[in-house]
Amino acid sequence: KLYLMVQIFDFFSPFLITLQDTGLHYDRYLREVIDFLEKDQHFREKLHNTDMEDIKQGKLAKELDFVSHHVRTKLDELKRQEVNRLRTLIKAKQDLEGGNDIAVDHQALLKQFEYLNHMNPHTFEVEDLDRLIKSATKDLENYDKERHEEFKRYEMMKEHDRREHLKTLGEEERKREEEHYEEMRKKHADHPKVNHPGSQNQLKEVWEEADGLDPEDFDPKTFFNIHDTNGDGFFDEQELEALFTKELEKIYDPSNEEDDMVEMEEERLRMREHVMNEVDSNKDRLVSLDEFLIATKKKEFLEPDSWETLEQNQAYTDEEMREFEEHLAQQEQDLNQKAVDLQKQRDELERQQEQLNEQKKELQQVRKTSTVCNNCHKIRIK
């Protein structure tokens, strides 16, 4: 693993590129904290002897009191840097929203960042490690759910855009567009049979086509060792998803108009989730060799049901699509109203500016007249 806190951090590694879409903005802080804890021998030994449930309950965090002074000093520094980063982000957001003249309550705003103790911005304590572990665990558990919701919104927006485009077309052109759409759907659905993820047939196909081995010699333990690429005795989510590449290639080709690569990644996620639910008996988001071997003896492995791909499982219901379009329509209405209000404000400002200009002219005229009168009065006196 990249870091010794495998039960927590290795869940993150497949998703580091996409963390910005999930709202998890503390990846670098998490990396650096784990990196320095890994350097402490006492903490490293305790980590190896602590199971996932104890980590979640905060028992490992208590071992922070026993790490070396050098590591604690570095962790203090990392926390101060992170707090300063969050304060900078808060200030930048305030500036973007036009609140330059509003006093910022940093303490109140820092409360939203649950992964550190904002009441003590100077030192890294047991509570900070406990918060970091629990936040990472919670965010990881919600990650797949959030990705599914994001994919559903993506699919509904794609359908909405298609419907809106059809409204702009004439009758004949719209008919041709609909026919082309149905043709692409049928073409996408016309693919070789997809093996049930994690089944004997699916793994044998990887064994033969990816590994170049005789399917008659298929051995689950050897297969596991080949695809446990980092050799730690577990399949993590990234290693597991790599096993589905051959199946996905049956359905998706980036050069084909009818194949959507966003949908391919959703299919990969569905496959990984399914295998994890079937095989990961202790729910630590890792598949051990023992769990894998036990799964290969089950009926589901030897005689699996057929696998239904995305085109057989629409991501949203008709009701969800209706509500989505209503929400978009309301958003458009609100934006239009805001544009109208802004135009009114602009017109009013221009009117007030014209009044000021007129008043300025009048004042200048009064002053000019007054000056002329004064001059005339002086002449009469002379």
Would you list the DSSP string of 34-82?
HHHHHT-HHHHHHHHT--HHHHHTTTTGGGGGGS-HHHHHHHHHHHHHH
In a domain, 82, yes or no: yes
d(CA 316, CA 319) in angstroms, rounded, equals 8
pLDDT at 18 over 90: no
Report the number of distinct structural domains present in the chain: 2
Amino acid at 185: R
Structure tokens at 247: 């199946």
Task: Say yes or no: 130 and 182 in one domain.
Answer: no
Task: Say yes or no: 118 and 209 in one domain.
Answer: no
Can you give the pLDDT at residue 105? Answer: 61
pLDDT at 37 over 70: yes
Confidence of residue 372 (pLDDT cuts 50, 70, 90): low
Verdict on whether the full-model pTM lies above 0.75: no
In a domain, 330, yes or no: no
Task: Say yes or no: 182 and 284 in one domain.
Answer: yes
pLDDT at 190 over 90: yes
DSSP string, 275-333: HHHHH-TT-SS-EEHHHHHHHTTSHHHHSPPPPP-GGGS-SS-HHHHHHHHHHHHHHHH
Task: Say yes or no: 132 and 208 in one domain.
Answer: no
Which of residues 27 and 105 earns the better pLDDT score?
Answer: 27
What digits encode the pLDDT tens for the residues 239-248?
999 999 999 9
Helix (H) or strand (E) holding 234: strand 234-235
In a domain, 108, yes or no: yes
Can you give the pLDDT at residue 95? Answer: 74
In a domain, 365, yes or no: no
Task: Say yes or no: 181 and 294 in one domain.
Answer: yes
Can you give the pLDDT at residue 92? Answer: 78
Task: Say yes or no: 198 and 95 in one domain.
Answer: no
Average pLDDT, the chain: 85
Task: Say yes or no: 119 and 190 in one domain.
Answer: no
Looking only at the bridges linking them, the beta strands covering 234-235 and 287-288 are antiparallel
Domain enclosing residue 69, as ranges: 26-136
Poorest-pLDDT segment among 48-62, 123-137, 339-353: 48-62
